[in-house]
Amino acid sequence: MIRVVMPKLGLTMSEGVLVNWLAESGSRVEKGQPLFEIETDKMLTEATAEADGILHTVAVAGSTVAVLEVVGYLLDPGEEPPSPEPVTHETGNLAETPPPISVDERSPAGRRLASPAAKRRARELGIDLSQVTPSGNDGRITEADVESAAERTGEVHKMDRTRQMIADRLLASSRESAAVTLTTEVDATELVGLRRGLGGHASPPSYNAIFVKIVARCLSEFPEFNAWREGDEIRLPREIAVAVAVDTPRGLLAPVVHEVPRKPVRDVSRELDQLAERAINGKSQPGDLDGGSFTITNLGAFGVDAFTPIINPPQMAILGVGRIQRKPAAWQDRIELRDRLTLSLTFDHRWIDGAPAARFLHRISELVEASSFLSGETA
């Protein structure tokens, strides 16, 4: 008998949602075969069988399970699974048949009966059962009653797990940091030309990839920005790992490019494309979203000039990149059309003073305006 458990997929993972089983209980599975889908705060991924055996499921689809908690067993032919430990139905973890009628106690008038289907639909639609008029036998709320209530109240969207995680992190960032934002406008004409030149006969690297390389260079010169907070301590990792914000159907995620200094800009661009694709499709792998020490968020594609980026905790700072605009500007004692770009640096003023932050942003500006240091990266 082999225990099937909720795997620990990241350093900060404490629980996951067993979205659905990919193999039926009682069926024979082979080593490496996908068993169930897991949704964590950061990703959607699959857990596979560690050995051959007959699957016996314990956790039900949709339940939240702590890491290393048993969700099933792989049995030998003829082997019996262990007896389940008694658990309340509120945990939703054991695959027991629920009672035909569940009770909802949110009603100020007292206990109100509702069918399991009605309760499930109410959770999906974010409907308070105490506000639903029952039409079933003995005053029971039916699924149709919940649907009718939803039509009367309009469209309601309940936060999914990822959206809740994002909300919690943003709230923590605003509550636990003294955020200050500095902005500056820089000349991006050479940056635009560099990207075009790096394209050659292939697609040019993304602007995000170029900024990852520029920021990594600056982080090596200003190690106090390549850091994250652990309680009252600041940790300065040896690795420079830069996260880039990606807009996904599940919310804003920030995949991480590790060991940036040793990677050519084209490799960084390809890696970013792969990370973004997995994040958008809900297929981020363990490690894709962990370990970043600094974040870049680029809203230029949406026509945004400047904005106030929010620090991605527990990091110390974040760089916002606006759109590139061609407009008249002073250049070498004359006015000419130049590509201009606004950068916004938000930092935690509790740990970083304004002057070092200004020097850091100025150095980024210098490298944007003299980005030819990347021109030799043809790999």
What SS3 state is found at 337? Answer: strand
* Predicted pLDDT at 95: 45
Structural domain contains residue 379: no
pLDDT score recorded for residue 224: 94
Residue 105, pLDDT score: 42
115, 76: one domain: no
pTM over 0.75: no
- Give 12's contacts (C-beta < 8 A, 6+ positions apart): 41, 290
- pLDDT given for residue 173 in this prediction: 73
Same-domain status, 175 and 148:
no
| Residue 207 in domain | yes
* Domains contained in the chain, number: 3
The answer to whether 114 and 103 have CB atoms below 8 angstroms apart is yes
**Packing angle of the helix pair 207-221, 265-280 (nearest 10 deg):** 110
Token pair of 36 as six digits: 């169930």
Read off the CATH number of the domain in which 65 is found: 2.40.50.100
Question: Is it the case that residue 357 has pLDDT exceeding 60?
Answer: yes
Residue range 43-56, pLDDT digits in tens: 778 899 999 999 99
What's residue 154's pLDDT?
67
Mean of the per-residue pLDDT values of the chain = 85
List all residues 6 or more positions away from 50 whose beta carbon is below 8 Å from its beta carbon.
2, 4, 31, 74
Dihedral sign from CA coordinates of 187, 189, 194, 196:
positive
Per the domain annotation, does 97 fall within a domain? no
Q: Are residues 166 and 290 in the same domain?
A: yes
What's the per-residue H, E or C state across 187-244? ECHHHHHHHHHHHCCCCCCCHHHHHHHHHHHHHHHCHHHCCEEECCEEECCCCCCEEE
pLDDT at position 118 is 82
Per residue in 21-30, pLDDT (tens digit) is 999 999 999 9
Give the model's confidence band at 377: pLDDT under 50 very low, under 70 low, under 90 confident, else very high. low
Angle between helix axes 207-221 and 354-369 (nearest 10 degrees) is: 130
Residues 120 and 205 both lie in one domain: no
The predicted pLDDT at position 355 comes to 97
Mark which of 48, 69, 91 sits at the end of a domain.
Answer: 91
Instruction: Give the CATH number for residue 137.
Output: 4.10.320.10
Lowest mean pLDDT among 147-161, 264-278, 287-301: 147-161
Domain hosting residue 148, numbered range: 102-153
Same domain, 257 and 332: yes
Using CB atoms within 10 Å of the CB of residue 302, give its burial: 0 to 12 exposed, 13 to 18 middle, 19+ buried: exposed
330 alpha-carbon distance from chain centroid: 41
Give the least confident one: 45-49, 152-156, 260-264: 152-156
**Mean pLDDT, residues 116-143:** 81
Q: What is the mean pLDDT of residues 270-299?
A: 92
Based on the domain organization, do 130 and 234 belong to the same domain?
no
pLDDT band at residue 160 under the 50/70/90 scheme: low
Residue 66: partners with Cβ closer than 8 Å, 6 or more residues away: 6, 14, 15
Mean pLDDT of 160-183: 77
| pLDDT classification of 190: cutoffs 50, 70, 90 | very high
For residue 326, being part of any structural domain is answered with yes
Q: Which band of pLDDT confidence, cut at 50, 70 and 90, is reported for residue 232?
A: confident
**Residue 218 and residue 80 share a domain:** no
Task: With beta carbons less than 8 A apart as the criterion, state whether 24 and 46 touch.
Answer: no
Q: What is the mean pLDDT of residues 90-117?
A: 51
Distance CA 119, CA 113 (A): 10
Which of 94-108, 113-127, 142-156, 197-211 has the weakest average pLDDT? 94-108
196 and 114 both lie in a single domain: no
Is a pLDDT exceeding 50 seen at residue 78?
A: yes
Q: How large is the average pLDDT for residues 149-168?
A: 69
The predicted structure's pLDDT at residue 13: 78
What is the number of other CB atoms lying within 10 angstroms of the CB of residue 132? 23
Q: Residue 352: what pLDDT?
A: 94
- What pLDDT, on the 0 to 100 scale, is given for residue 109? 41
Is 16's pLDDT higher than 60? yes
Q: Is residue 214 part of a domain?
A: yes
Average pLDDT over residues 179-186: 96
Residues 6+ apart with CB under 8 A from 24: 55
Q: Rounded CA gap, 192 and 243, in Å?
A: 22
96 occurs within a structural domain: no
Neighbours of 26 (CB within 10 A): 10
Look at residue 134 and tell me if it is in a domain. yes
Q: Tell me: do 277 and 175 sit in the same domain.
A: yes
- What is the predicted pLDDT for the residue at 251? 81
State whether 202 and 307 are in the same domain: yes
277 within some domain: yes
Same domain, 206 and 341: yes
pLDDT at 223 over 60: yes
What's the pLDDT at 42? 67
With 0-12 CB in 10 A as exposed, 13-18 as middle and 19+ as buried, what is 192? middle
**Which of 108-122, 144-158, 290-304 is predicted most confidently?**
290-304
Tell me the pLDDT band of 93, cut-offs 50, 70 and 90: very low
In this prediction, residue 157 carries a pLDDT of 62
How far apart CA 42 and CA 286 sit, in angstroms, is: 9
**CATH number, residue 237:** 3.30.559.10
Q: Are residues 264 and 349 in the same domain?
A: yes
For residue 313, how many other CB atoms are within 10 A of its CB? 18
Q: What is the percentage of the chain residues whose pLDDT exceeds 90? A: 53
Name which of 161, 158, 115, 153 is nearest 134 in CA terms: 115
What is the per-residue pLDDT for 84?
64
